[in-house]
Amino acid sequence: MLMTQKLVITPWEIKGAVMGVDYEKLMKQFGADPLTPAVLDRLKKHTGDDLHVLLRRKFFVSHRDLSWVLDQYERGNKFYLYTGRGPSGPMHLGHLLPFTLCKWLQDKFGCELWLQISDDEKFFSKSDLSLESAQKWGQENILDIIALGFDPKKTKIFIDTKNAKTMYPQAVRVAKHLNLSTAKAVFGFTGETNVGLAFYTAMQSVLAFLPSVLAGKNVPCLVPLGLDQDPHFRVTRDIMPKLGYHKPAVLHCKFLSGLGEGGKMSASIPHSAIYLSDTPKQVEEKIKKHAFSGGQKTLEEQRKKGANPDIDVSYQWLQAFFEPDDDKIVQVYNDYGSGKMLTSELKQYLIEKVNAFLAHHQKEREKARSKVDKFLWID
Amino acid sequence: MLMTQKLVITPWEIKGAVMGVDYEKLMKQFGADPLTPAVLDRLKKHTGDDLHVLLRRKFFVSHRDLSWVLDQYERGNKFYLYTGRGPSGPMHLGHLLPFTLCKWLQDKFGCELWLQISDDEKFFSKSDLSLESAQKWGQENILDIIALGFDPKKTKIFIDTKNAKTMYPQAVRVAKHLNLSTAKAVFGFTGETNVGLAFYTAMQSVLAFLPSVLAGKNVPCLVPLGLDQDPHFRVTRDIMPKLGYHKPAVLHCKFLSGLGEGGKMSASIPHSAIYLSDTPKQVEEKIKKHAFSGGQKTLEEQRKKGANPDIDVSYQWLQAFFEPDDDKIVQVYNDYGSGKMLTSELKQYLIEKVNAFLAHHQKEREKARSKVDKFLWID
C-alpha cells in the first residue's frame, strides 16, 4: 500500500488525482530503479529502431532487473512477457496502453506473452460485482486485448476461474510462503478483507513461473504493469527463489490521467475516461466537455499568456501516447504554451488522434471474435 | 479453536489425551445437539435393523440438523454424504472409523458419498510436507477408503489439487463471504498462518453445495466428521444461505484413543496408533507393549480387585467398534472389571479382532487398485 500526499494506491484502489504524482518518490518507496537513458539505450540495441513512444516519453518510468533480463537475452536465454487484466468493466484507453507496449516488445523480441484475466480478484475486491459479471467482462476485455494484434502462436491467455486446473496447484506452492502478516503489511488488508483476496496474490504469481515449470528450466520473465500492481510482484519476487525460480523482472508504467481536473478518474465522474467502445461523437463530447484544460479563461488571455500544458489533460494524452512524433509534440507544447494554439485546437487535435485509434481498434476488435480460441489456454 | 483443560483441538492439531475428553462440554461449546435416543430411533426407522455400532455406542456423539435431513428424506428429498481426508501420511484405524459409518449410511439410504482429499490443506498446515508427498499420500489413502466397499456408482472422490477446475470457481464464491477476522476467530490463525490455509475453508466448503449447483436445486447434505473439523463447517453453515443453499447437516464423531496412557496419540509415540498396513505381528506387539491397561499390577491383584475398563485402551477400542455384539461387550466389561478376565486375555481378544479386520481390509485394499478410476471425479 502506498500513500502520497494526494494519492492512495493499492492494487484495488487508486484514489485522488494522478497527474501530480511524484513518480521519483514512488520509485524510491518501491525500491525500483529509474529507466535511465543507459538502460533504454541497451534495450534499443536489440529493438533496432526508435524506442516505443511509451518508453521514449517515460510513460514507463521504472523497473526492477530489466538489465538482468537483457543479460540473459544476450546469453541466448530468451525472456517472456507476463501481464494481466482484472475484468470488472469495459476497458478504457488507460487500460490499453501497457498492452500496446507488450505488443511492441513481442514484435521486437519475438517473445511469448502470458496473460492473466483475474476474474477471481475482481470478484473478491468489488463487493457489488458478481462472479458471472467478472467472467463476462473477462470475455469482453479479451477481445480488446487480442485486437492489438498479438501473435496467437506466442500468446497464451489464462482465465483464473477457467484455468484453475493448471493454476491452483501452482498457486498453492506460492501460498505456503506468504503469511497473513506479510499480506497485511504489503496490501493494507484489514479484518474485513476476505480470504479470497488474501489468497489471490498466489494466483497472480503463477504466470511468473509456470513457463519455467513447463519447460523444466528457468525462463526469464518480464512483467510490464501499472505501478499499482507492484505490491503483488514484490511478494512474488520474494517467494520465487524459495521455489527455485528467478525473480520476475518488472517494468512499471504510470497512470494515464483521467479527463477531470488534475487527471482525476472516478466512478462519480462517468466521463473521466474514454472507453474503447466509445463512438467518435462520444469521444468528441467527452474531450470537449470534460478534458481539463491548462488554457486561459478567454481567447484573448490565451493568445496573450499562453496555456500551461503541464496541467492540461489533452496535452498529457498526446504526449504520453497519441502523438508519437517527437518533433510534432514539441511543436504542440511550444505553440500551446505560447498562445499560438488554442484549447479548442488542441482538443480537436486529440479528438482526431483518439478517434483514428479507436476506429482501427474497434474494427480489429470485431475480427478478434473469431480468433479468441487460438489464444485461450487449454488445461 | 477449542481448548479444554487437557486438550487443544483445531482442524490441524489435537494436543493432549483424548480419552478423558468431556464431549458434553465440547458439544455445548460447539452449540451442537446430542444424538439423543429419539433422533437415533428416528434414524433406525429408515435403516430397518439395528443401528451401526458407532452410533449405538455413541462414538458418533452429536449432530447439527440431522432431524432436518430426515424431514427432507421423508418428503422424498434424498440427502448425500460428504466427508474427507487430509492426506499427510498413512491412515490408521482411527481415521477409518468415520468412513465405515459412511459406508453403512450409503448402504442403508442408497445415498451418494462425495469425498474430498484435501492435499492442499495438509501441504499448507504441515511445514515439512511437500506438495508431492501430500499428493502421493492422497493416492495411498484413497485405496484404504475404497477398500471399505463403497459403491463406485454412488461415490465421487475429489482431489483438491487435481480437481481445481471444478472446485476453485465454487470456492471463490465462498471465499468472498469469509473475512480474515472471522477466520482468525474461528481457527485461531496468527500472523504466521499462510494465506493458503486461510483460503482453504472455502475449498472445504465446496462439496457441501456442489451437488446442488450441478442439480440446479438444493440437495440436502449430511457430513459425518471428526469433531476437530467442526470449525470449518460452522463457517460453511454460516455462508451457505448467503449463496442460496441449505446448511449442511453434521454428524460428529469422537476421537479413537491412541494406545498410550490416557489415549494419547503423538508423533513422539510411534506405536500409539495401528496403521492399516500393519502386519499381524506388529498389531500384536503394539497392543501388547503399548495399549494402556486399566488392569492391576500383578495377576493376584487383578483377580482380586478387577480392572478399570473405563481407562483401558483395549477395552475402549472393543467398545467403540471392534466388538459390535452388545451382549459380548457387556460380558467383557463385567469379566474384566471383576477380575475374571486378565489384561493379557483382553489384549488377545482385541488383537484377534483387529487382525481379522485388517486381514480383510488389506485384501480389499489390493483389489481397490484396479477400481480407483471409477471413483475419481473427472473435471
pLDDT in tens, A89-138: 999 999 999 999 999 999 999 999 999 999 999 999 999 999 999 999 99
Crossing angle of helices A93-109 and A131-146, in 10° steps, is: 50
Cα(B51)–Cα(B57) distance, rounded to whole angstroms? 9
Full DSSP string of B39-51? HHHHHHHHH-SPP
Whether A377 contacts A158, CB under 8 Å:
yes
Query: For residues B323-343, b (16+ Cβ closer than 10 Å) or e, as one string?
Result: bbeeeebeebbebbbebebbb
Q: Which residues, numbered 280 to 339 in chain A, qualify as contacts with chain B under a Cβ-Cβ cut-off of 8 Å?
A: none
Cα(B343)–Cα(B328) distance, rounded to whole angstroms? 17
Cβ separation B131–A172 shorter than 8 A = yes
Whether B123 contacts B134, CB under 8 Å:
yes
Q: Is B161 on the interface with A (CB under 8 A)?
A: yes
Q: Are strands B113-117 and B80-85 parallel, antiparallel or unpaired?
A: parallel
The per-residue pLDDT for range B18-57, each reduced to its tens digit, is 666 788 888 888 889 999 999 999 999 999 878 999 999 9
Whether A303 contacts A338, CB under 8 Å:
no
Q: Is B165 on the interface with A (CB under 8 A)?
A: yes
Whether A251 contacts A60, CB under 8 Å:
yes
pLDDT value of residue A10? 65
Q: Which residues, numbered 189 to 228 in chain A, qualify as contacts with chain B under a Cβ-Cβ cut-off of 8 Å?
A: 189-196, 198-199, 201-202
The per-residue pLDDT for range A32-80, each reduced to its tens digit, is 999 999 999 999 999 987 899 999 999 999 999 999 999 999 999 999 9
Instruction: Report the percent of chain A where pLDDT is more than 70.
Output: 93
pLDDT value of residue A287? 96
**Which residue do the cell numbers 496467437 mark?**
A152
pLDDT value of residue A263? 75
Full DSSP string of B155-195? EEEEETTTSHHHHHHHHHHHHTT-BHHHHHHHH---TTSBH
The grid coordinates of residue A295 equal 488554457
pLDDT value of residue B3? 44
**Which residue do the cell numbers 498453492 mark?**
A172
Average pLDDT over residues B351-379: 98
Residues across chain B: 379
Q: Which residues pair with B10 in a beta bridge?
A: B13
Nearest to B202 among A165, A179, A195 (CB): A195
Q: Is A136 on the interface with B (CB under 8 A)?
A: no
- Note the ipTM here: 0.93
Average pLDDT, chain A: 93
Whether B374 contacts B152, CB under 8 Å:
yes
Q: Is A131 on the interface with B (CB under 8 A)?
A: yes
Cα(B14)–Cα(B254) distance, rounded to whole angstroms? 12
Cβ-Cβ contacts under 8 Å, B184 against chain A? 191
Crossing angle of helices B93-109 and B131-146, in 10° steps, is: 50
